[in-house]
Each structure stands twice: as structure tokens, then as C-alpha cells.
């Protein structure tokens, strides 16, 4: 499968996601959070530093659950320019 290259805005949003997740992790170890979320420590580290700019939804959902983050609030934080109530189609 060939992926379309990410835009600068998408890469910036990935870095912002990583910063939010790192801040929410606080003093907890990355290894403990990764284990509880069911992802590898390497994956969590890459997301936190923005190397994985567009992680899978279920990866973000698992991290949000472990870090007690609301997915709606997280999305609004990372996509403030989106219009409220605007629905975007789900990718297939």
C-alpha cells in the first residue's frame, strides 16, 4: 500500500499530539504506559516525539484510555480550526 506523504500541517499536528500525550503521562514511565495501552515502548516513544505523525486511531484511543484523556477534547485540541458539528467521512 502506498501512502500519500503527510502535509506540514499533519506533521505539526502529530508533534502536538506527542506533546499532549507526554504531558498527560507526567511522571509515569513510558514503559508502564505503553504496556497498559498494549503498544510497544518504541511506538509510544515515536508518537511522543512526533516520528509517527498519524498513529492508528485505536492506538490513540488506547493511550487516551490509559492517560484518562477524552478523545473528543483531544481532537478539538489538535484540530481547533475544524468547524463544530462538521462531519468528516470515515476513511475506509
* Beta carbons of 66 and 58 less than 8 angstroms apart: no
Tens-place pLDDT, residues 11-49: 999 999 999 999 999 999 999 999 999 999 999 999 999
- Buried residues in 25-41 as b, exposed as e (16+ CB within 10 A): beeeeeeebbeebebee
Tens-place pLDDT, residues 17-27: 999 999 999 99
Q: Tell me the pLDDT of the chain averaged across its residues.
A: 88
Tens-place pLDDT, residues 59-81: 999 999 999 999 999 998 888 77
* CATH classification code of 8-78: 1.10.260.40
The pLDDT value given to residue 2 = 82
The pLDDT value given to residue 92 = 43
Q: How far is 39 from 56, CA to CA, in rounded Å?
A: 11
Amino acid at each position: 500500500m502506498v501512502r500519500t506523504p503527510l502535509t506540514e500541517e499533519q506533521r505539526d499536528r502529530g508533534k502536538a499530539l506527542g506533546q499532549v500525550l507526554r504531558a498527560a503521562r507526567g511522571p509515569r514511565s513510558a514503559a508502564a504506559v505503553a504496556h497498559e495501552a498494549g503498544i510497544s515502548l518504541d511506538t509510544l516513544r515515536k508518537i511522543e516525539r512526533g516520528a509517527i505523525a498519524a498513529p492508528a486511531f485505536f492506538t490513540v484511543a488506547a493511550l487516551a484510555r490509559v492517560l484518562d484523556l477524552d478523545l473528543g477534547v483531544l481532537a478539538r485540541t489538535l484540530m481547533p480550526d475544524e468547524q463544530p458539528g462538521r462531519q468528516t467521512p470515515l476513511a475506509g
